[in-house]
Amino acid sequence: MFKKILIANRGEIAKRIILACHELGISAVAIYSEPDADMPWVRLADEAYPLNGATAAETYLNQEAIFRIARTAEVEAIHPGYGFLSENPGFAAACAEHNLLFIGPDARVIQLMGSKAEARALALQCGVPVVPGLDSAGMEDAELAAAAGEIGFPLLIKASAGGGGKGMRVVQTPAEFEEALPLARREALSSFGDGHILVERYLSEIHHVEIQILGDKQGNILHLFERDCSIQRRHQKIIEESPSPLVTEPLRARMAEAAVRLAQVAGYENAGTVEFIVDGAGEFYFLEMNTRLQVEHPVTEMISGLDLCAWQIRIAAGEVLPFRPEDITRRGYALECRVYAEDPARDFLPSTGTLATYRTPSGPGVRVDDGVESGSVVTPYYDPMLAKVITWGQDRPEAIRKMARALRDTVVLGVTTNIPYLLAILEDPQFQAGNTTTNFIQERMAGWEPEIAIDEDVQVAAAVFEALLGGGKRAIAQDKTAEGAEAPANPWNDLPTWRNVQSG
């Protein structure tokens, strides 16, 4: 097992990896940008090293700086988390050149599966269903437009590299196609450095369902069931759940078998996710593969009882998966909501500022993965996700009820969040019935407004008042000032001693 690992990431995923390292007896090394210097996950690490600058390019994408710190800290491996460098084959290859183990698949597999075009070709080779479409490689725009018309509209234009909706356009007519194609190419080139485009038939009433896999270095690959990630805004997931309310046992078996077969042919190892779309008729089609830990991995952990982050590290260290597919059982239902510092009523505009008060929910079946605390500053430099709230129940209704309670118990003052928006989704009859296609946000939440708008100044004032009360309580516990002078008269000192738990 490793003795020391560097986490090349930030926020809640950095904290999550640090905790996994500590549970395995491994020292965790954090890196941090200038805006992140006071974040709680930095203090949680055994060692922490600064990155000069604030932007992602200056810091968490700065490979030279990361490798310099890795040498200084004398780490054996690097965990990339998700985002940033996690699916960068060049970074994975560079780790090997620096005698560091990259916790994830090797660079060849990241390159192969990171290209939607190559991954699609591999899926076809494996007999895994794909959406009817074509690859633009070697085709002029006019030739591509003619071929696209034969597929039939509406069509989806999407970048072969990257994700998150960048370089993606839905077009309804040939004229729209001709207008959108160069825009999609330019966006793909600017976002991913690759203008390679795919064109596919656009399926509107679909569910986004993904299969979690684990593979060791000995070629053993197993699946850990599915997650439904259909509740999305701008192609970004905001609510995930497992099991999917759509998937039947026969469909689950077929999708899982296809995911494992694809991973085996690719020579995949470590954690990964094979993403599919499922239509109303129950037919599924390969979408892409994410060669990393997913944001929504806690959902699978809750229903499987396995620590995916720890198993990433154990597999990278050479451990063999000790269980067979039939040993993995699914228990109950799990739900995850992503809490963002953003305003859904203002086109999801990110909200920056200081978290004057931040309190998380608790209770049976409630988990919170976060990387902030009261006093943390939400900056414009990084993704505005503050936390992931995860709940578990014996059935889906129980998981939803627990989530609604947990979100209401979550306190975030100082910035606007999407918590009221998430609650509105949970309370929607269509969501509760499991009718959650990828069009849900567009169809059910258009024009949403919070029931009660609270002015930010009021929120901050309430937070300041609470902080003052907390400060007063701390002052009351002190009999002397730092200089040794008598503390101000305190009426609480005149009360008799009282405890809420009596001895015996």
Catalytic residue positions, numbered? 292
Nearby residues of 75 by Cβ (< 8 Å), 6 or more positions away: 4, 5, 6, 29, 100
Q: Which residues lie closer than 8 Å to 229 by C-beta, 6 or more apart? A: 208, 209, 210, 237, 239, 240, 296
CB 181 within 8 A of CB 144: yes
Check residue 320 and report its DSSP letter.
P
Q: 32 is written with which tokens?
A: 């941090």
Give the CA count within 13 Å in the CB-facing half-sphere of 342.
21
Q: What is the C-alpha to C-alpha distance for residues 266 and 359, in angstroms, rounded to an integer?
A: 44
Beta carbons of 6 and 316 less than 8 angstroms apart: no
Q: What is the SS3 assignment for 354?
A: strand
Q: What are phi and psi of 164, to 5 degrees?
A: 70, 20
- Rounded Cα gap, residues 252 and 166, in angstroms: 29
Cβ–Cβ < 8 Å for 468, 461: no
Q: Supply the DSSP symbol for 130.
A: B
| Among candidate residues 338, 335, 340, the one with its CA nearest the CA of residue 432 | 335
